[in-house]
Amino acid sequence: MTDMTRRGVLGLGAATVLTGILAGRISVQAAETNTLTIAFNSNLPSFDGTVGLSGVNPAIQAIYRSIYDQYIGQKPDLSFEPGLLTDWGWNDDKTKVWMDVREGVKWHDGSDFTPEDIVWSLTRAGKPDSGNPVASVWASIGNYKVEGKRITADVLNFDPTIFKWMAFLTGYVLPKAYYEKVGAEGFEKKPVGTGPYMFDAYEGNSFLRLKANPNYWGGKPAFETVIFKFVTDPTSRVAEIESGSSDVTLEIPYEEFDRLKAKKGLAGVSSPISDIGMIFITNVEPMLDKNVRLAAHHAIDKAGIVKKLLRGYGVPIDTLEAPEYEAYDASIKVGYDPQKAAELLKASGYSKDKPVKFKIQTTRGLKPKDYEMIQAIVGMWRRVGIEAEIEVYEVAKHFELRAGHKLAPAAFYNWGNAIGDPTTSTGFAMFSKSPHSAWKSDDVDALIGPLWGEKDEAKRIAGWKAADTYIAEQGYVIPLLQYVQPIVFKSSLKVTPNVSSALQPTLVSKA
Protein backbone atom coordinates (compact mmCIF):
# COMPACT_ATOMS: atom_id res chain seq x y z
CA MET A 1 0.00 0.00 0.00
CA THR A 2 1.49 3.37 -0.98
CA ASP A 3 1.60 6.32 1.40
CA MET A 4 -1.01 8.11 -0.72
CA THR A 5 -3.33 5.12 -0.59
CA ARG A 6 -2.76 4.65 3.15
CA ARG A 7 -3.56 8.30 3.91
CA GLY A 8 -6.70 8.13 1.75
CA VAL A 9 -7.93 5.02 3.54
CA LEU A 10 -7.26 6.47 6.99
CA GLY A 11 -9.13 9.61 6.02
CA LEU A 12 -12.27 7.66 5.19
CA GLY A 13 -12.76 6.41 8.73
CA ALA A 14 -12.94 2.86 10.08
CA ALA A 15 -16.62 2.24 9.37
CA THR A 16 -16.34 3.44 5.79
CA VAL A 17 -13.20 1.42 5.19
CA LEU A 18 -14.85 -1.72 6.56
CA THR A 19 -17.86 -1.23 4.33
CA GLY A 20 -15.59 -0.53 1.37
CA ILE A 21 -13.54 -3.64 1.96
CA LEU A 22 -16.69 -5.75 2.29
CA ALA A 23 -17.98 -4.24 -0.93
CA GLY A 24 -14.65 -4.98 -2.61
CA ARG A 25 -14.00 -1.46 -3.82
CA ILE A 26 -11.43 0.40 -1.70
CA SER A 27 -8.93 1.99 -4.08
CA VAL A 28 -6.92 5.18 -4.54
CA GLN A 29 -9.93 6.69 -6.31
CA ALA A 30 -13.10 7.05 -4.24
CA ALA A 31 -15.30 6.04 -7.14
CA GLU A 32 -14.40 3.77 -10.01
CA THR A 33 -15.79 4.79 -13.38
CA ASN A 34 -17.92 1.67 -13.68
CA THR A 35 -19.09 1.61 -10.06
CA LEU A 36 -21.88 3.72 -8.59
CA THR A 37 -21.95 3.94 -4.80
CA ILE A 38 -25.10 5.30 -3.16
CA ALA A 39 -25.14 6.35 0.49
CA PHE A 40 -28.69 5.15 1.11
CA ASN A 41 -31.02 6.35 3.87
CA SER A 42 -32.60 3.02 4.82
CA ASN A 43 -31.66 -0.56 5.55
CA LEU A 44 -33.11 -3.46 3.55
CA PRO A 45 -35.07 -5.86 5.81
CA SER A 46 -36.16 -8.24 3.03
CA PHE A 47 -35.46 -8.97 -0.63
CA ASP A 48 -39.04 -9.97 -1.39
CA GLY A 49 -40.76 -6.70 -2.18
CA THR A 50 -44.18 -8.36 -2.47
CA VAL A 51 -44.70 -9.47 1.13
CA GLY A 52 -44.41 -8.15 4.65
CA LEU A 53 -43.99 -4.61 5.87
CA SER A 54 -41.02 -3.99 3.57
CA GLY A 55 -43.36 -4.29 0.60
CA VAL A 56 -45.10 -1.05 1.50
CA ASN A 57 -42.01 0.89 2.59
CA PRO A 58 -41.50 3.65 -0.01
CA ALA A 59 -37.92 4.21 1.15
CA ILE A 60 -36.60 0.95 -0.33
CA GLN A 61 -38.47 0.78 -3.64
CA ALA A 62 -35.35 2.03 -5.45
CA ILE A 63 -33.65 -1.26 -4.55
CA TYR A 64 -36.60 -3.42 -5.56
CA ARG A 65 -36.92 -1.58 -8.87
CA SER A 66 -33.25 -2.30 -9.54
CA ILE A 67 -33.55 -6.08 -9.11
CA TYR A 68 -37.10 -6.70 -10.31
CA ASP A 69 -39.37 -5.40 -13.00
CA GLN A 70 -42.93 -4.37 -12.34
CA TYR A 71 -45.95 -5.43 -14.33
CA ILE A 72 -46.28 -1.83 -15.53
CA GLY A 73 -43.42 0.67 -15.57
CA GLN A 74 -43.45 4.23 -14.32
CA LYS A 75 -41.46 7.17 -15.61
CA PRO A 76 -39.80 9.72 -13.31
CA ASP A 77 -42.76 12.08 -13.87
CA LEU A 78 -45.08 9.29 -12.56
CA SER A 79 -46.66 8.60 -15.97
CA PHE A 80 -47.08 4.92 -16.76
CA GLU A 81 -45.19 3.00 -19.43
CA PRO A 82 -44.83 -0.63 -20.54
CA GLY A 83 -42.99 -2.92 -18.13
CA LEU A 84 -43.23 -6.67 -18.27
CA LEU A 85 -46.67 -5.95 -19.67
CA THR A 86 -46.57 -4.14 -22.99
CA ASP A 87 -50.31 -3.35 -23.06
CA TRP A 88 -53.30 -3.77 -20.77
CA GLY A 89 -56.92 -2.77 -20.30
CA TRP A 90 -60.56 -3.59 -19.43
CA ASN A 91 -63.38 -4.90 -21.54
CA ASP A 92 -66.31 -2.52 -22.16
CA ASP A 93 -68.33 -3.37 -19.05
CA LYS A 94 -65.22 -3.81 -16.87
CA THR A 95 -65.98 -7.42 -16.03
CA LYS A 96 -62.67 -8.64 -17.47
CA VAL A 97 -59.08 -7.43 -17.85
CA TRP A 98 -56.49 -8.29 -20.48
CA MET A 99 -52.71 -8.03 -20.42
CA ASP A 100 -50.10 -8.53 -23.14
CA VAL A 101 -46.80 -9.96 -21.88
CA ARG A 102 -43.37 -8.83 -23.09
CA GLU A 103 -41.52 -11.48 -25.06
CA GLY A 104 -37.80 -12.33 -25.14
CA VAL A 105 -37.10 -11.52 -21.47
CA LYS A 106 -34.68 -13.59 -19.36
CA TRP A 107 -34.56 -14.10 -15.61
CA HIS A 108 -31.23 -13.41 -13.94
CA ASP A 109 -30.58 -17.16 -13.77
CA GLY A 110 -30.83 -17.38 -17.57
CA SER A 111 -34.25 -19.04 -17.72
CA ASP A 112 -37.06 -17.67 -19.90
CA PHE A 113 -39.64 -15.29 -18.49
CA THR A 114 -43.15 -16.41 -19.50
CA PRO A 115 -46.80 -15.36 -19.03
CA GLU A 116 -47.05 -18.09 -16.37
CA ASP A 117 -44.69 -16.02 -14.19
CA ILE A 118 -47.17 -13.13 -14.38
CA VAL A 119 -50.12 -15.36 -13.51
CA TRP A 120 -48.23 -17.02 -10.64
CA SER A 121 -47.06 -13.67 -9.22
CA LEU A 122 -50.56 -12.15 -9.35
CA THR A 123 -52.20 -15.27 -7.89
CA ARG A 124 -49.65 -15.49 -5.09
CA ALA A 125 -50.01 -11.82 -4.24
CA GLY A 126 -53.78 -12.15 -3.95
CA LYS A 127 -53.81 -15.07 -1.50
CA PRO A 128 -54.87 -13.98 2.00
CA ASP A 129 -52.04 -16.02 3.54
CA SER A 130 -49.38 -14.74 1.14
CA GLY A 131 -48.20 -11.99 3.45
CA ASN A 132 -48.84 -9.34 0.81
CA PRO A 133 -50.00 -6.21 2.68
CA VAL A 134 -52.46 -5.31 -0.09
CA ALA A 135 -53.59 -8.83 -1.00
CA SER A 136 -57.18 -7.62 -1.41
CA VAL A 137 -56.11 -5.44 -4.35
CA TRP A 138 -54.48 -8.36 -6.16
CA ALA A 139 -57.39 -10.66 -5.30
CA SER A 140 -59.76 -8.37 -7.22
CA ILE A 141 -58.95 -10.28 -10.43
CA GLY A 142 -58.67 -14.04 -11.03
CA ASN A 143 -59.57 -17.04 -13.22
CA TYR A 144 -56.58 -16.36 -15.48
CA LYS A 145 -56.33 -17.72 -19.00
CA VAL A 146 -53.19 -17.60 -21.18
CA GLU A 147 -53.35 -17.56 -24.95
CA GLY A 148 -49.96 -16.88 -26.50
CA LYS A 149 -48.66 -13.65 -25.02
CA ARG A 150 -52.12 -12.47 -23.88
CA ILE A 151 -53.51 -13.07 -20.40
CA THR A 152 -57.19 -12.53 -19.62
CA ALA A 153 -58.83 -12.58 -16.20
CA ASP A 154 -62.22 -12.06 -14.60
CA VAL A 155 -62.93 -9.07 -12.40
CA LEU A 156 -63.92 -10.71 -9.12
CA ASN A 157 -64.28 -7.48 -7.17
CA PHE A 158 -64.00 -4.26 -9.16
CA ASP A 159 -61.02 -2.15 -8.14
CA PRO A 160 -60.46 0.96 -10.28
CA THR A 161 -56.80 1.10 -9.26
CA ILE A 162 -55.66 -2.44 -10.13
CA PHE A 163 -53.50 -1.38 -13.09
CA LYS A 164 -52.05 1.55 -11.12
CA TRP A 165 -50.99 -0.87 -8.40
CA MET A 166 -49.10 -2.87 -11.02
CA ALA A 167 -46.61 0.03 -11.09
CA PHE A 168 -46.70 0.59 -7.33
CA LEU A 169 -45.89 -1.05 -3.99
CA THR A 170 -45.67 -4.88 -4.06
CA GLY A 171 -46.22 -4.82 -7.84
CA TYR A 172 -43.14 -6.89 -8.65
CA VAL A 173 -42.97 -10.00 -10.80
CA LEU A 174 -41.06 -12.95 -9.31
CA PRO A 175 -39.85 -16.17 -11.00
CA LYS A 176 -42.30 -19.04 -10.48
CA ALA A 177 -39.92 -21.96 -11.13
CA TYR A 178 -36.95 -20.53 -9.23
CA TYR A 179 -39.01 -19.42 -6.22
CA GLU A 180 -40.77 -22.79 -5.94
CA LYS A 181 -37.38 -24.53 -6.20
CA VAL A 182 -35.53 -22.55 -3.50
CA GLY A 183 -38.43 -21.41 -1.33
CA ALA A 184 -38.75 -18.16 0.60
CA GLU A 185 -35.54 -18.75 2.58
CA GLY A 186 -33.49 -19.55 -0.51
CA PHE A 187 -34.89 -16.55 -2.32
CA GLU A 188 -33.74 -14.26 0.49
CA LYS A 189 -30.22 -15.67 0.14
CA LYS A 190 -30.13 -15.17 -3.62
CA PRO A 191 -32.98 -13.17 -5.14
CA VAL A 192 -33.62 -13.45 -8.87
CA GLY A 193 -35.52 -10.95 -11.01
CA THR A 194 -35.58 -9.61 -14.55
CA GLY A 195 -34.49 -6.09 -13.60
CA PRO A 196 -31.55 -3.98 -14.79
CA TYR A 197 -29.29 -5.17 -11.96
CA MET A 198 -28.53 -8.61 -10.53
CA PHE A 199 -27.81 -9.61 -6.93
CA ASP A 200 -24.10 -9.96 -6.18
CA ALA A 201 -23.42 -9.58 -2.43
CA TYR A 202 -25.19 -8.46 0.72
CA GLU A 203 -24.13 -7.66 4.26
CA GLY A 204 -27.09 -6.87 6.53
CA ASN A 205 -27.19 -3.28 7.82
CA SER A 206 -24.03 -2.54 5.85
CA PHE A 207 -24.29 -2.79 2.05
CA LEU A 208 -25.86 -4.41 -0.99
CA ARG A 209 -23.82 -4.91 -4.16
CA LEU A 210 -25.49 -5.40 -7.54
CA LYS A 211 -24.03 -6.07 -10.95
CA ALA A 212 -25.41 -5.03 -14.32
CA ASN A 213 -27.76 -7.40 -16.11
CA PRO A 214 -26.12 -7.74 -19.55
CA ASN A 215 -29.30 -9.20 -21.03
CA TYR A 216 -31.69 -6.57 -19.73
CA TRP A 217 -34.55 -5.99 -22.17
CA GLY A 218 -34.37 -2.25 -21.49
CA GLY A 219 -30.69 -2.03 -22.41
CA LYS A 220 -27.57 -2.56 -20.34
CA PRO A 221 -27.30 -0.06 -17.43
CA ALA A 222 -24.70 2.70 -17.32
CA PHE A 223 -22.73 1.18 -14.43
CA GLU A 224 -21.26 -2.30 -14.16
CA THR A 225 -21.57 -2.30 -10.36
CA VAL A 226 -23.97 -0.53 -8.00
CA ILE A 227 -23.41 -0.45 -4.25
CA PHE A 228 -26.10 0.64 -1.83
CA LYS A 229 -24.42 1.58 1.45
CA PHE A 230 -26.97 1.58 4.26
CA VAL A 231 -26.26 4.87 6.05
CA THR A 232 -29.29 5.74 8.17
CA ASP A 233 -27.68 8.72 9.91
CA PRO A 234 -27.93 11.90 7.77
CA THR A 235 -24.70 13.36 9.15
CA SER A 236 -22.89 10.23 8.04
CA ARG A 237 -24.46 10.49 4.58
CA VAL A 238 -23.09 14.03 4.32
CA ALA A 239 -19.66 12.71 5.27
CA GLU A 240 -19.94 9.94 2.67
CA ILE A 241 -20.49 12.34 -0.21
CA GLU A 242 -18.10 14.99 1.04
CA SER A 243 -15.24 12.53 1.52
CA GLY A 244 -15.82 10.97 -1.88
CA SER A 245 -16.63 7.57 -0.37
CA SER A 246 -20.02 7.62 -2.07
CA ASP A 247 -20.99 9.06 -5.42
CA VAL A 248 -24.54 10.11 -4.61
CA THR A 249 -26.74 10.49 -1.54
CA LEU A 250 -30.19 11.76 -0.66
CA GLU A 251 -32.41 13.02 2.14
CA ILE A 252 -29.79 15.14 3.90
CA PRO A 253 -30.43 18.34 5.88
CA TYR A 254 -31.30 21.17 3.53
CA GLU A 255 -28.58 23.48 4.83
CA GLU A 256 -26.07 20.77 3.99
CA PHE A 257 -27.68 20.31 0.60
CA ASP A 258 -27.27 24.04 -0.15
CA ARG A 259 -23.66 23.93 1.05
CA LEU A 260 -22.61 20.77 -0.77
CA LYS A 261 -24.22 21.47 -4.13
CA ALA A 262 -22.18 24.70 -4.33
CA LYS A 263 -18.94 22.88 -3.57
CA LYS A 264 -16.47 22.18 -6.37
CA GLY A 265 -16.83 18.67 -7.71
CA LEU A 266 -20.38 18.24 -6.45
CA ALA A 267 -23.83 19.05 -7.79
CA GLY A 268 -27.39 18.76 -6.54
CA VAL A 269 -31.00 18.53 -7.65
CA SER A 270 -34.19 19.04 -5.68
CA SER A 271 -37.81 18.71 -6.71
CA PRO A 272 -41.22 18.11 -5.10
CA ILE A 273 -41.94 14.42 -4.70
CA SER A 274 -45.05 12.37 -4.03
CA ASP A 275 -44.17 11.90 -0.33
CA ILE A 276 -45.98 13.86 2.35
CA GLY A 277 -45.01 14.36 5.98
CA MET A 278 -47.90 13.66 8.34
CA ILE A 279 -48.76 12.90 11.95
CA PHE A 280 -50.92 9.83 12.42
CA ILE A 281 -53.54 10.21 15.15
CA THR A 282 -54.46 6.97 16.93
CA ASN A 283 -57.97 6.54 18.33
CA VAL A 284 -56.86 6.25 21.95
CA GLU A 285 -56.95 8.72 24.81
CA PRO A 286 -56.51 11.67 24.80
CA MET A 287 -57.07 11.74 21.03
CA LEU A 288 -60.69 10.63 21.40
CA ASP A 289 -61.32 14.27 22.36
CA LYS A 290 -61.99 16.25 19.16
CA ASN A 291 -60.86 19.46 20.85
CA VAL A 292 -57.44 17.95 21.56
CA ARG A 293 -57.04 16.69 17.99
CA LEU A 294 -57.99 20.00 16.39
CA ALA A 295 -55.94 22.01 18.88
CA ALA A 296 -52.88 19.93 18.00
CA HIS A 297 -53.46 20.79 14.34
CA HIS A 298 -54.22 24.50 14.72
CA ALA A 299 -51.13 24.98 16.92
CA ILE A 300 -48.69 23.98 14.16
CA ASP A 301 -47.14 26.73 12.02
CA LYS A 302 -46.48 24.62 8.92
CA ALA A 303 -45.41 27.55 6.75
CA GLY A 304 -42.95 28.60 9.43
CA ILE A 305 -41.48 25.10 9.62
CA VAL A 306 -41.01 24.96 5.86
CA LYS A 307 -39.46 28.44 5.72
CA LYS A 308 -37.23 28.38 8.79
CA LEU A 309 -36.40 24.71 9.36
CA LEU A 310 -36.55 23.34 5.82
CA ARG A 311 -35.17 26.46 4.11
CA GLY A 312 -38.21 26.66 1.85
CA TYR A 313 -37.91 23.06 0.63
CA GLY A 314 -41.50 21.90 1.11
CA VAL A 315 -45.16 22.69 0.45
CA PRO A 316 -47.50 23.04 3.48
CA ILE A 317 -50.67 20.94 3.16
CA ASP A 318 -53.85 20.37 5.19
CA THR A 319 -55.05 17.22 3.43
CA LEU A 320 -53.58 13.80 2.68
CA GLU A 321 -53.68 14.64 -1.02
CA ALA A 322 -50.59 16.40 -2.38
CA PRO A 323 -51.13 18.92 -5.21
CA GLU A 324 -50.18 16.30 -7.82
CA TYR A 325 -52.71 13.75 -6.52
CA GLU A 326 -55.97 13.20 -8.39
CA ALA A 327 -58.26 14.18 -5.49
CA TYR A 328 -56.35 17.25 -4.29
CA ASP A 329 -58.73 19.95 -3.09
CA ALA A 330 -57.09 23.32 -2.40
CA SER A 331 -60.18 24.51 -0.53
CA ILE A 332 -59.51 22.15 2.39
CA LYS A 333 -57.88 24.35 5.03
CA VAL A 334 -57.30 23.92 8.75
CA GLY A 335 -55.04 26.88 9.41
CA TYR A 336 -52.46 27.98 11.94
CA ASP A 337 -54.34 29.57 14.84
CA PRO A 338 -52.69 29.11 18.26
CA GLN A 339 -55.37 31.21 19.96
CA LYS A 340 -58.08 28.90 18.68
CA ALA A 341 -55.97 25.91 19.75
CA ALA A 342 -55.78 27.28 23.30
CA GLU A 343 -59.55 27.90 23.35
CA LEU A 344 -60.28 24.36 22.20
CA LEU A 345 -58.04 22.95 24.91
CA LYS A 346 -59.63 25.21 27.52
CA ALA A 347 -63.06 23.85 26.55
CA SER A 348 -61.78 20.39 27.50
CA GLY A 349 -60.18 21.56 30.75
CA TYR A 350 -56.59 21.93 29.57
CA SER A 351 -54.18 24.88 29.67
CA LYS A 352 -50.48 25.68 29.80
CA ASP A 353 -50.68 25.18 33.58
CA LYS A 354 -52.66 21.96 33.19
CA PRO A 355 -51.52 20.53 29.83
CA VAL A 356 -52.88 17.50 28.06
CA LYS A 357 -50.11 14.90 27.84
CA PHE A 358 -49.33 12.24 25.25
CA LYS A 359 -46.43 10.61 23.39
CA ILE A 360 -45.40 11.34 19.80
CA GLN A 361 -43.15 8.98 17.85
CA THR A 362 -40.82 9.96 15.02
CA THR A 363 -37.99 8.73 12.85
CA ARG A 364 -34.65 10.55 13.10
CA GLY A 365 -32.76 11.05 9.86
CA LEU A 366 -34.96 9.06 7.48
CA LYS A 367 -36.19 12.36 6.02
CA PRO A 368 -34.46 15.74 6.30
CA LYS A 369 -35.15 17.37 9.66
CA ASP A 370 -37.83 14.83 10.65
CA TYR A 371 -36.80 14.78 14.32
CA GLU A 372 -36.13 18.51 14.40
CA MET A 373 -39.55 19.14 12.87
CA ILE A 374 -41.22 17.17 15.64
CA GLN A 375 -39.12 19.03 18.21
CA ALA A 376 -40.41 22.31 16.77
CA ILE A 377 -44.00 21.06 16.78
CA VAL A 378 -43.71 19.93 20.40
CA GLY A 379 -42.50 23.44 21.24
CA MET A 380 -45.51 24.97 19.46
CA TRP A 381 -47.82 22.59 21.33
CA ARG A 382 -46.29 23.53 24.68
CA ARG A 383 -47.26 27.16 24.10
CA VAL A 384 -50.96 26.29 23.90
CA GLY A 385 -51.27 23.59 26.56
CA ILE A 386 -50.02 20.32 25.06
CA GLU A 387 -47.10 18.47 26.62
CA ALA A 388 -45.77 15.76 24.30
CA GLU A 389 -42.99 13.28 24.95
CA ILE A 390 -40.87 12.37 21.91
CA GLU A 391 -39.94 8.75 21.22
CA VAL A 392 -37.52 7.98 18.37
CA TYR A 393 -37.87 4.78 16.35
CA GLU A 394 -36.67 3.25 13.09
CA VAL A 395 -39.13 3.22 10.21
CA ALA A 396 -39.31 -0.60 10.39
CA LYS A 397 -40.58 -0.28 13.97
CA HIS A 398 -43.20 2.20 12.80
CA PHE A 399 -44.53 -0.37 10.32
CA GLU A 400 -44.60 -3.04 12.99
CA LEU A 401 -46.49 -0.87 15.47
CA ARG A 402 -48.87 0.45 12.84
CA ALA A 403 -49.76 -3.05 11.62
CA GLY A 404 -50.56 -4.02 15.22
CA HIS A 405 -52.52 -0.82 15.84
CA LYS A 406 -50.06 0.06 18.60
CA LEU A 407 -48.73 3.45 17.51
CA ALA A 408 -48.55 6.20 20.11
CA PRO A 409 -51.42 8.72 20.20
CA ALA A 410 -49.39 10.75 17.68
CA ALA A 411 -46.81 9.33 15.25
CA PHE A 412 -44.88 11.10 12.52
CA TYR A 413 -44.51 9.34 9.18
CA ASN A 414 -43.73 10.13 5.55
CA TRP A 415 -46.44 8.70 3.30
CA GLY A 416 -45.52 7.90 -0.29
CA ASN A 417 -48.17 7.76 -3.00
CA ALA A 418 -46.38 7.47 -6.32
CA ILE A 419 -49.59 6.69 -8.23
CA GLY A 420 -51.42 9.74 -6.86
CA ASP A 421 -54.74 7.97 -6.33
CA PRO A 422 -56.85 8.87 -3.27
CA THR A 423 -57.28 5.22 -2.37
CA THR A 424 -53.54 4.95 -1.82
CA SER A 425 -53.37 8.06 0.32
CA THR A 426 -56.55 8.79 2.25
CA GLY A 427 -57.95 5.31 1.64
CA PHE A 428 -55.22 3.15 3.07
CA ALA A 429 -54.24 5.70 5.72
CA MET A 430 -57.76 6.20 7.11
CA PHE A 431 -59.95 3.14 6.37
CA SER A 432 -60.26 1.09 9.58
CA LYS A 433 -59.88 -2.26 7.82
CA SER A 434 -56.56 -1.16 6.34
CA PRO A 435 -53.49 -2.40 8.25
CA HIS A 436 -51.92 0.96 7.44
CA SER A 437 -54.42 3.12 9.33
CA ALA A 438 -54.04 4.52 12.83
CA TRP A 439 -57.43 6.21 13.29
CA LYS A 440 -60.22 3.65 13.05
CA SER A 441 -63.87 4.75 13.28
CA ASP A 442 -67.19 3.86 11.67
CA ASP A 443 -67.95 7.41 10.49
CA VAL A 444 -64.87 7.45 8.25
CA ASP A 445 -65.57 3.93 7.00
CA ALA A 446 -69.11 4.96 6.01
CA LEU A 447 -67.65 7.66 3.73
CA ILE A 448 -64.76 5.65 2.33
CA GLY A 449 -66.26 2.17 2.06
CA PRO A 450 -68.46 2.75 -1.03
CA LEU A 451 -65.64 4.48 -2.92
CA TRP A 452 -63.37 1.44 -3.25
CA GLY A 453 -65.47 -0.06 -6.03
CA GLU A 454 -67.07 3.07 -7.53
CA LYS A 455 -67.07 2.74 -11.34
CA ASP A 456 -68.10 6.35 -12.05
CA GLU A 457 -64.72 8.12 -11.96
CA ALA A 458 -66.09 11.65 -11.42
CA LYS A 459 -68.29 10.42 -8.58
CA ARG A 460 -65.37 8.47 -7.10
CA ILE A 461 -63.04 11.46 -6.98
CA ALA A 462 -65.78 13.74 -5.61
CA GLY A 463 -66.42 11.18 -2.88
CA TRP A 464 -62.78 11.15 -1.87
CA LYS A 465 -62.71 14.95 -1.71
CA ALA A 466 -65.75 14.86 0.58
CA ALA A 467 -64.04 12.29 2.78
CA ASP A 468 -60.88 14.43 2.97
CA THR A 469 -62.96 17.44 3.97
CA TYR A 470 -64.68 15.53 6.77
CA ILE A 471 -61.41 14.06 8.05
CA ALA A 472 -59.89 17.56 8.23
CA GLU A 473 -62.94 18.89 10.09
CA GLN A 474 -62.69 16.09 12.65
CA GLY A 475 -58.91 16.30 13.06
CA TYR A 476 -58.38 12.57 12.48
CA VAL A 477 -54.92 13.10 10.99
CA ILE A 478 -52.45 16.00 10.77
CA PRO A 479 -50.95 16.44 7.28
CA LEU A 480 -47.87 18.68 7.44
CA LEU A 481 -46.16 19.14 4.08
CA GLN A 482 -45.29 17.79 0.70
CA TYR A 483 -41.60 16.98 0.61
CA VAL A 484 -38.92 18.29 -1.69
CA GLN A 485 -36.18 15.67 -2.05
CA PRO A 486 -32.52 16.78 -1.96
CA ILE A 487 -30.02 14.68 -3.92
CA VAL A 488 -26.28 15.45 -3.95
CA PHE A 489 -23.86 13.77 -6.33
CA LYS A 490 -20.48 14.08 -7.94
CA SER A 491 -20.47 16.58 -10.80
CA SER A 492 -19.16 13.83 -13.09
CA LEU A 493 -22.65 12.30 -12.86
CA LYS A 494 -26.12 13.26 -14.03
CA VAL A 495 -29.16 12.43 -11.88
CA THR A 496 -32.75 12.53 -13.07
CA PRO A 497 -35.00 13.27 -10.06
CA ASN A 498 -37.89 10.87 -9.55
CA VAL A 499 -41.22 12.27 -8.33
CA SER A 500 -41.86 8.89 -6.69
CA SER A 501 -38.77 9.57 -4.48
CA ALA A 502 -37.08 6.32 -5.59
CA LEU A 503 -33.41 7.04 -6.36
CA GLN A 504 -33.04 4.27 -8.91
CA PRO A 505 -29.53 3.63 -10.28
CA THR A 506 -31.00 3.64 -13.80
CA LEU A 507 -31.76 7.35 -13.29
CA VAL A 508 -28.04 8.06 -12.73
CA SER A 509 -25.67 8.34 -15.65
CA LYS A 510 -22.23 9.68 -16.45
CA ALA A 511 -22.33 13.37 -17.29
Say yes or no to pLDDT of 16 above 80: no
pLDDT at 293: 98
Q: What pTM was estimated for this model as a whole? A: 0.85
Say yes or no to pLDDT of 21 above 60: no
Mean pLDDT, rounded, of the chain: 93
Average pLDDT on 207-214 reads: 97
Q: Residue 147: count other Cβ atoms within 10 Å of its Cβ.
A: 9
Beta bridge partners of 266: 490
Q: What is the DSSP string of 132-188?
A: -TTHHHHTTEEEEEEETTEEEEEESS--TTHHHHTTSTT-B---HHHHHHHHHHHHH
pLDDT at 33: 72
Give per-residue pLDDT as tens, 212-254. 999 999 999 999 999 999 999 999 999 999 999 999 999 999 9
* Architecture of the domain spanning 53-178: Alpha-Beta Complex (3.90)
Give per-residue pLDDT as tens, 37-74. 999 999 999 999 999 988 988 889 999 999 999 999 99
Say yes or no to pLDDT of 14 above 80: no
Q: How far is CA 99 from CA 36, 41, 118, 148, 166, in A?
A: 35, 36, 10, 11, 11
pLDDT at 307: 97
pLDDT at 53: 84
Instruction: Identify whether the C-beta of residue 499 lies closer than 8 Å to the C-beta of residue 77.
Output: yes
Q: How far is CA 290 from CA 67, 473, 509, in A?
A: 46, 9, 51
Q: Where are the domains of the chain?
A: 3-48+180-270+486-510, 53-178, 272-484
**What whole-number distance in Å separates Cα of residue 109 and Cα of residue 48?**
17
**What whole-number distance in Å separates Cα of residue 158 and Cα of residue 318?**
30
**What whole-number distance in Å separates Cα of residue 70 and Cα of residue 105?**
13
Class of domain 272-484: alpha beta
Give per-residue pLDDT as tens, 337-379. 999 999 999 999 999 999 999 999 999 999 999 999 999 999 9
Average pLDDT on 404-416 reads: 96
Give per-residue pLDDT as tens, 161-196. 999 999 999 999 999 999 999 999 999 999 999 999
Instruction: Identify whether the C-beta of residue 91 lies closer than 8 Å to the C-beta of residue 150.
Output: no
Q: How far is CA 1 from CA 21, 28, 29, 246, in A?
A: 14, 10, 14, 22
CATH topology agreement for domains 3-48+180-270+486-510 and 272-484: no
Q: How many residues does the chain have?
A: 511
**What whole-number distance in Å separates Cα of residue 194 and Cα of residue 172?**
10
Say yes or no to pLDDT of 453 above 50: yes
Class of domain 3-48+180-270+486-510: alpha beta
**Band (324; pLDDT cuts 50, 70, 90):** confident
Q: Nearest Cα to 229, choosing from 209, 256, 213?
A: 209
**What whole-number distance in Å separates Cα of residue 429 and Cα of residue 423?**
9
Give the alpha-carbon dihedral of 48, 52, 53, 57, to 10 degrees.
30
Q: Residue 15: count other Cβ atoms within 10 Å of its Cβ.
A: 14
Q: How far is CA 296 from CA 229, 310, 474, in A?
A: 38, 21, 12
In degrees, to the nearest 5, what angle opens at C-alpha 314 toward C-alphas 311 and 316?
Answer: 120
Average pLDDT on 505-511 reads: 96
30-44, 329-343, 467-481: which has the minimum mean pLDDT?
Answer: 30-44
pLDDT at 1: 36
Beta bridge partners of 405: none
Pairing assessment for the beta strands 386-392 and 508-510 based on DSSP bridges: unpaired
